[in-house]
Amino acid sequence: MPIPQSMAWALKKILSTRDIFEKGNRLQEFIVGEKFSIRKCYNQLNGDVNPVSWKRLICNNKASPKSIFITWLAVLNRLTTKVRLVSWQMLNDPSCPICQQENEDVLHLFIKCNYSATIWQKCLQILKCPRPIVSFMSEVNIAAEQCRRRHKKSQVYGMVFTDAVYQLWMQRNQKVFENKLVSPDQVVDNIIFNVACRCLRI
Residue 24 predicted with pLDDT over 60: no
Mean pLDDT computed over 115-134? 94
Q: 40-44, 129-133, 183-187 — which is least confidently predicted?
A: 40-44
More confident position, 90 or 22: 90
Distance CA 83, CA 166 (A): 19
The predicted pLDDT at position 157 comes to: 96
Q: How far is CA 145 from CA 50, 51, 64, 139, in A?
A: 17, 14, 19, 10
Instruction: Tell me the chain's radius of gyration from C-alpha atoms.
Output: 22
The predicted pLDDT at position 25 comes to: 56
The predicted pLDDT at position 201 comes to: 60
Residue 80 predicted with pLDDT over 90: yes
For the chain, what percent of residues have pLDDT higher than 90? Answer: 69
Taking alpha carbons only, the member of 110, 159, 157, 101 closest to residue 136 is 110
Nearest 10 degrees: Cα torsion 54, 59, 60, 62: 120
The predicted pLDDT at position 188 comes to: 97
Taking alpha carbons only, the member of 180, 185, 179 closest to residue 115 is 185
For the chain, what percent of residues have pLDDT higher than 70? Answer: 95
* Domain extents in the chain: 9-46, 55-201
